[in-house]
Amino acid sequence: MKKEIVINFTQREIRIAILEDNELVEFLIEREESRRTVGGIYSGRINAVIPGIQAAFVDIGQERAAFLHVSDVATGALDPDLVDDVDFEVPSGRKRRDFPPIQNLLKKGQEIVVQIKKEAISTKGPRVSSQISLPGRYAVLMPNLDHIGISKKIDNRKERNRLRSIIRKHRPKGSAVIVRTAGSGVEEKQIKDDLKHLEKRWKEIERKIERATPPALIHEDVDITVFALRDLFTEDVNQITIDNKSEYERLSSYLKSFAPHLASRVKLYTDKVPLFDYYEIEAEIEKTLESKIWVRKGGYIVIEHTEALVSIDVNTGRFTGKRNQEETILETNLIAAREIARQLRLRDIGGIIVIDFIDMEREENRRKVYNEFRNAMRKDRSRARVSQISDLGLIEVSRKRVRPSLLHYYSDECPYCVGSGKILSIESMAMKIEQWIRRIGVPGKIRGMQFRVNPILGIYMREERDEFIGELAERYRMVVEIIDDPRLHREEFEIRSLDGKRDLKGEFV
């Protein structure tokens, strides 16, 4: 499989696209006003301890207080978020997920050092952990813990044993070490140098912590471009293409220090055609904002976001197949399973996701679809849990997200529907106006009024309701005028006296 990373720089944003066989599978964006904060280490102070949710809120100097769950409080136990991805060598006597009550660990006003593990999203503050972890190119250092971990993606037993041996020899005293997937096959000296670099960084952070007065930023993680090299540029990436000369030189220099054998794979793009246009990425990004996605052979999937979860519906669409109905449905579901896994990565959809595949009669076909989806999800860097497919063709997915989704960056809430996806129909708006005519007309005190409405509503009122409005005006012996006002949206209208000076809507509420 051909794998590429394409990095585009503009004055106000940096965009990173990951392509697999020329298909966009992952997309990251960082803008000036919303820089990446995950990995940042802060000296904070506990604002409140809430036993009911076993969590605390920490002032770290940001607009919203950070959320600290009991499972993220450093107690010498393992971080649950690492358990699913890493095989740990755990000292005897220690238990996983054995947490004392948070009120026994933290008190209001207490100073605490925390690290952001999940960006602030919507009205929620960032999620933090007091279990500090410092990622390097090949390893992750976790101060004040006593474990050795190997990424589960390194599945060769001989290689795992080799890496454990190296870590036992060079692990900094009083720290846990996790070997990352990129560490597979790497020489001992490179891992040793990586650990020395991380140990040095932690000592610098400790010195800053001693001098800090909370709330204060102690340490920022690397910027998004270095993050791409450190976390995304693995051995299976064929090429990185960058369209900014100074960044190209900076990243090439970084690679020569940490992974010199990969430095030649970084290329500078100098063509006049915009980089994302050349790779046909721009059009793909626009498609990610659509809820309906067409897939091969005429089927389609629909992605709908709600407050509680994300629902994904699979439909056959134009695909009828050449064989029987069951096989047509199976083929559609298999194609959709692969595309859904890609869309979850690409859009970075997190939380609870419910996928409604087309109903299949045979258990073996449901199993095939489940296996196809599970295999496709293995490419996802984010931790995800996938339930078995139900008799009704439903699969539930819980996917971890550490940053706002693509939809968050590229869209605002609709001022008309305020996120509901629905607005009042033209007919309903016309009925509201007619109700107002009655309300104002019954007392018999007003001789005329003008309705200022959105032009779309105005056209409908004149073409479809003119006769009825005339009847109402005659009944109440009033003059009723409909005036177009493009400043007003579809669900908004004003009611004024004929001279336009009095607000009748306010008077008759």
Concatenating the DSSP letter of every residue in 63-105 gives SSPEEEEGGGS-SSSPPHHHHTTEEEEPPTT--TT----GGGT
Mean pLDDT for the stretch of residues 362-378: 94
pLDDT band at residue 97 using 50, 70 and 90 as cut-offs:
low
Mean pLDDT taken over the chain: 89
pLDDT at 159 over 60: yes
Mean pLDDT for the stretch of residues 354-366: 93
Mean pLDDT for the stretch of residues 409-425: 77
In three-state secondary structure terms, 416 is coil
What tokens were used for 45?
């102070």
What tokens were used for 190?
């490179």
Exposed/middle/buried for 467, CB within 10 Å: 0-12, 13-18, 19+? exposed
What is the DSSP secondary-structure string of 148-167? EEEETT---HHHHHHHHHHH
In three-state secondary structure terms, 498 is coil
User: Who contacts 144 (Cβ-Cβ below 8 Å, separation ≥6)?
Assistant: 74, 76, 132, 174, 175
Name the residue type at position 471. Answer: E
Q: Is the peptide bond before 215 cis (omega within 30 degrees of 0)?
A: yes
Percent of the chain with pLDDT over 90: 64
Handedness of CA 226, 232, 234, 237 (dihedral sign): negative
pLDDT tens digits for 58-69?
999 998 999 999
Mean pLDDT for the stretch of residues 268-285: 93
The Cα-based distances of 33 to 30, 118, 362, 410 in angstroms read 8, 17, 52, 14
Mean pLDDT for the stretch of residues 311-326: 78
Closest CA to 328 of 313, 315, 312, 339: 315
d(CA 175, CA 76): 11
Strand 479-484 and strand 448-453: pairing?
parallel
Mean pLDDT for the stretch of residues 4-31: 93
pLDDT at 31: 84
pLDDT at 197 over 80: yes
pLDDT at 80: 44
d(CA 403, CA 406): 9
Q: Which residue blocks in 183-232 are alpha helix, DSSP H?
A: 188-211, 224-227
pLDDT at 85 over 60: no
CATH class of the 41-222 domain in this structure: mainly beta
What tokens were used for 90?
């755990």
User: Who contacts 160 (Cβ-Cβ below 8 Å, separation ≥6)?
Assistant: 87, 150, 154
d(CA 191, CA 180): 10
What tokens were used for 175?
């720290």
pLDDT at 82: 47
pLDDT band at residue 373 using 50, 70 and 90 as cut-offs:
very high
Closest CA to 247 of 4, 11, 7: 7
Exposed/middle/buried for 246, CB within 10 Å: 0-12, 13-18, 19+? exposed
Percent of the chain with pLDDT over 70: 94
pLDDT at 244 over 70: yes
pLDDT at 412: 76
Min mean pLDDT across 68-82, 145-159, 216-230, 423-437 is at 68-82
Min mean pLDDT across 29-38, 165-174, 190-199, 365-374 is at 29-38
pLDDT band at residue 89 using 50, 70 and 90 as cut-offs:
very low
pLDDT at 4 over 60: yes
Mean pLDDT for the stretch of residues 454-458: 95
CATH class of the 426-507 domain in this structure: alpha beta
Q: Which residue blocks in 348-441 are alpha helix, DSSP H?
A: 363-377, 406-410, 426-441
Mean pLDDT for the stretch of residues 183-201: 93
For the chain, which residues make up each domain, given as ranges? 3-34+226-283, 41-222, 290-410, 426-507
Which H/E stretch holds residue 455? helix 455-464
More confident residue, 356 or 327: 356
241 forms beta bridges with 6, 267
156 forms beta bridges with none
Mean pLDDT for the stretch of residues 401-422: 75
pLDDT band at residue 319 using 50, 70 and 90 as cut-offs:
low
pLDDT at 91: 44
pLDDT at 361 over 60: yes
Min mean pLDDT across 195-199, 276-280, 307-311, 413-417 is at 413-417
d(CA 277, CA 285): 11
Closest CA to 303 of 295, 294, 292, 317: 292
Alpha-carbon torsion angle 367, 370, 375, 379, nearest 10: 180
Min mean pLDDT across 122-126, 359-363, 406-410 is at 406-410
pLDDT at 432 over 90: yes
d(CA 318, CA 354): 24
pLDDT at 349: 92
3-34+226-283 fold = Nucleotidyltransferase; domain 5 (3.30.420)
Min mean pLDDT across 72-86, 218-232, 411-425, 488-502 is at 72-86
7 forms beta bridges with 16, 242
pLDDT at 489: 87
pLDDT at 421 over 80: no
pLDDT tens digits for 104-120?
999 999 999 999 998 88
Mean pLDDT for the stretch of residues 9-33: 91
pLDDT band at residue 75 using 50, 70 and 90 as cut-offs:
low
What tokens were used for 73?
């409080």
